[in-house]
Amino acid sequence: MPLSALEKMKSGDWYSCLDPELEALRTAARAAAFEHSTTPPDVRGNIGEKLRALFAACAGDARIEAPFHCAYGVNITLGKAVFLNAGCVVLDSAPVTIGDYAMLGPNVQIYCADHHKDPELRQQNLERAMPVTIGKNVWIGGAAIILPGITIGDNAIVGAGSVVTKDVPAGVTVVGNPARVMG
């Protein structure tokens, strides 16, 4: 029996993102993000109730400022005291793990979807999901973009506006487009 699009997505195989089961999951994520982003902060707390329930795992003291957007939510894990500033976008078609005490500035974007390079296959909406892992005590400056399959090591810093195209070793600072270790 052939694998469903969701099963292919979870296994890292090529799949069509235009699938009714995946659309239902995205609809639930949009509703949870909408609730989070439109509930007054003193009522919402650190993370809206529906959004917190959607995540794979989320420490009680993790905080997300509004607005926030995620593709599915179910693939997001937030460690202790994680902070995502306003405007963050997490396109979590694969697991996105953000370690304890990590801080993401405003408008940081994390992408897991890798679209097919062949234009004919791209027209078929084929993509694959590649995980993103952000270590403990990482600081990611505002408007940085983290591409699919990236790992950022513990205690690293990603400068504002950087585009991270390669793994970042622990304890280093990267800046620029593409992001490079500061020397």
Backbone angles phi, psi at 114, to 5 degrees: -110, 110
Q: What is the pLDDT of residues 55-90, one digit of tens each?
A: 999 999 999 999 999 999 999 999 999 999 999 999
Q: What is the pLDDT of residues 149-183, one digit of tens each?
A: 999 999 999 999 999 999 999 999 999 999 999 97
Q: 3.40.50.920, 3.40.920.10, 3.90.1010.10, 2.160.10.10: which CATH number matches 5-181?
A: 2.160.10.10
Look at the pTM and tell me if it is higher than 0.85: yes
Sheet holding 145-146, edge to edge: 68-70, 88-91, 109-111, 145-146, 163-164
**pLDDT tops 90 at residue 54:** yes
Q: What is the pLDDT of residues 126-138, one digit of tens each?
A: 999 999 999 999 9
CA distance 32 to 78: 16
**Residue 45 neighbours by CB under 8 Å, 6+ apart:** none
pLDDT value of residue 71:
98
Three-state DSSP class for 26? Answer: helix
Calculate Rg over the CA atoms of the chain: 16
Residue 115 bears catalytic tag = yes
Contact (Cβ atoms closer than 8 angstroms) between residue 29 and residue 72: yes
Question: In the chain, what are the domain boundaries?
Answer: 5-181
Burial class (CB within 10 angstroms; exposed 0-12, middle 13-18, buried 19+) of 178: exposed
